[in-house]
Amino acid sequence: MKKVTLKEIAKQTGVSTATVSYVLNNVANQTIAEETRSRILQTAKELGYVPNLAARSLVKQKTGLIGLLINQSTRSESWRKIRYSSLIDEIEAALSERGYHLILHSLDAAAPKLDIIAERKLDGVIVVDARSDRFHHISSHFPRGVPVLVIDSLINDPLFNQLMFDYASAFAQLPELFHQPQNYYAVLDDYNNEELLRHLASLLPLTSEQIHIMQCEEKLKQFINKQKARKGIIINEAIALLAGKYTASEQLTVICTANMAQLLPANATAVAFKQQKGRLAAEQLIQLINRSELAASNKTIKIEAE
Amino acid sequence: MKKVTLKEIAKQTGVSTATVSYVLNNVANQTIAEETRSRILQTAKELGYVPNLAARSLVKQKTGLIGLLINQSTRSESWRKIRYSSLIDEIEAALSERGYHLILHSLDAAAPKLDIIAERKLDGVIVVDARSDRFHHISSHFPRGVPVLVIDSLINDPLFNQLMFDYASAFAQLPELFHQPQNYYAVLDDYNNEELLRHLASLLPLTSEQIHIMQCEEKLKQFINKQKARKGIIINEAIALLAGKYTASEQLTVICTANMAQLLPANATAVAFKQQKGRLAAEQLIQLINRSELAASNKTIKIEAE
DNA sequence: GTGAAAGCGCTAACAG
DNA sequence: CTGTTAGCGCTTTCAC
């Protein structure tokens, strides 16, 4: 059983591989006799021809491959993974609709290896939660001209296209927080990107004693137990669920960064964001790809709270 | 700025591409003068050479690409996505360690399109939660000899390598369930694979009125409200969290299929499984790839409960 | 309308 | 020890 290639179809149809390629790709301004056309289409179907995208990539100089590179601080705790499950799914769905395939790859935030971008000749890349120190250093290794969109990473460089939540608008939903800051505490998700953490802290009218950065359940518990009757602002649903083990959930206001509000206890307060980050990311990246020749309109997009 | 290819390195070093290839790949039984070797290595580093895997794939007839194809019944509810977030992460991690790259792709369970396998010449494929009717029909389209591992799908055909939880061993952890079945109800995760659902039901000493297949939160609520003081067996942590909104969580026993036990309320009973499904899947698939020439030892692996 | 041929970047015999 | 060469499967220019 021979491999089904263009050449094989060409042979069986008695035409050249060029003609077969024209037909199968509906090449514009190549006029093909209707007879040959249907004959080729016919045998292609019979043989179950499927194009080899590696070969195509080689000549077209684009692969149709997008990388989703997620920085992981640690792989150990599985509950942390819900942070991006919705994001991943949305991105995959949106890219699929546009004919792209997704390569999912995780990075060591402390020492990201980005070879995959060049090796696989990725058409575009979405980087999630990158440390800006590492990122700067490494970004020079980027193959020239590969569009990159950075998510959840505050990078102080207009060179990078960024996408993140508008946390200020989320906190603005909580007027009481600003009137009575002493009644609150906050738990931040432990982003690798320290600038983002600092940014979050700066938006909250709280002292550093009132702010905890998530590390592990035990530390969270200790922190919450010290907060007495205060109300909690929790970033990320999974963390909120853990927090719910140590305080009454009606005391909690959850900033829903994982699109998982439904899993929260009914009596917790939830603040969600207006748009799906994943879909937005995918669309944005595709735009970048399509006009990567032009000066990239390096904007930072922020998604507002509902 | 020229593209950095083997040819370019060859030119700059004054040797042939073959020699460069030998050096860069440490080809065994090719003895290279230490002087040339280091010169090549040197300029390769300077130029920041990265091999083009598409080109390599073409000649080596393997791509280093693994497909993770997940059947989705619906994309609408984001909380469902936690079902596989741990699995995806484990698989990606394990494959990465072995030098493979992961293509994540979702399938429409009712009409799965598997072209990606042939197009991308995937070296192996993991299919998750497939309807066996669709799967049989479609599996004939599989490129010959591509190793496939099927997860969470009961397929009555020894031809397929399968991996799933040993639910019987999970239920066996609950002796009371079998002594007092009238005191229980169960909520099953809504797998696309109907055989799996039937299998689960057959393992439970419950009537069909006592068993609910998850559809949406509202239906779940109605079902639970009818159960009075009964205790619930819930498959999947996310569903358990939803169920927890409508019944006391100490009444719940959760079969943890998503590796997210930590997110459950402390007073719920959790039953977990011994091994990480994702890691096991990746390792199993790699084995299949490495000896795909031999008669595939088509076994079904079941992961026992702790 | 169709085909010959060059080449994308790389590997692997086979010569030398 | 190193180079020549023939592809891998496909696209595309240019001729016929």
How does pLDDT run along chain A (306 residues), one tens digit per residue?
789 999 999 999 999 999 999 999 999 888 899 999 999 999 999 999 999 999 999 999 999 999 999 999 866 799 999 999 999 999 999 999 999 999 999 999 999 999 999 999 999 999 999 998 887 777 767 777 899 999 999 998 877 899 999 999 999 999 999 999 999 999 999 999 999 999 999 999 999 999 999 999 999 999 999 998 899 999 999 999 999 999 999 999 999 999 999 999 999 999 999 999 999 999 999 999 998 665 556 689 999 999
B263, A104: Cβ pair inside 8 Å?
A: no
pTM of the model: 0.95
Q: What's the rounded mean pLDDT across residues B288-296?
A: 73
B206 part of contact set with chain A, CB < 8 Å:
no
Using CA atoms, how far residue A279 sits from A98, A282, B58, B226, in Å, is 12, 5, 33, 39
Structure-token pair, residue B112: 């799965």
Q: Which class is domain B6-50?
A: mainly alpha
Rounded mean pLDDT, B139-168: 87
* Segments making up each domain of chain A, as ranges: 6-50, 65-164+276-303, 167-271
CA distance B24 to chain A (A): 14
Mean pLDDT of B151-171: 92
Segment (H or E) for B165: strand B161-165
d(CA B102, CA B95): 7
Strand D at less than 7 A from CB of B38: no
Q: How far, in Å, CA of B229 to CA of A239, rounded?
A: 30
CA distance B38 to B254: 59
Q: Are A92 and B105 in contact (CB under 8 A)?
A: yes
Question: What span, in angstroms and rounded, lies between the C-alpha atoms of B303 and B288?
Answer: 18
Pick from A75, A82, A116, A216 the residue to mutate for testing the B interface (most B CBs within 10 Å).
A82
> Exposure of B292 by Cβ count < 10 A (0-12 exposed, 13-18 middle, 19+ buried)?
middle
The reply to whether B24 Cβ lies less than 7 angstroms from strand C is yes
Query: In this complex, is the C-beta atom of B262 within 8 Å of any C-beta atom belonging to chain A?
Result: yes
Domain B167-271 class, CATH top level? alpha beta
Separation between the CA of B1 and the C1’ of D4 (whole angstroms): 28
How far apart CA B263 and CA B106 sit, in angstroms, is 26
Looking at residue A295, what is its pLDDT?
Answer: 57
B65-164+276-303 is a CATH 3.20.10.10 domain: no
Q: Are domains B65-164+276-303 and B167-271 of this chain identical in fold? A: yes
Query: Do the Cβ atoms of B197 and B235 come closer than 8 Å?
Result: no
In sequence order, the β-bridge partners of residue A212 are A187
Return the pLDDT at B220: 97
Cα separation, A61 vs A40, whole angstroms: 26
Residues 6+ apart with CB under 8 A from A226: none
B50 to chain A: closest CA residue: A119
- Residue in chain B lying closest to A243 (CA): B263
Rounded CA gap, A289 and A293, in Å?
8
* Interface contacts A/B by beta carbons within 8 Å: 137
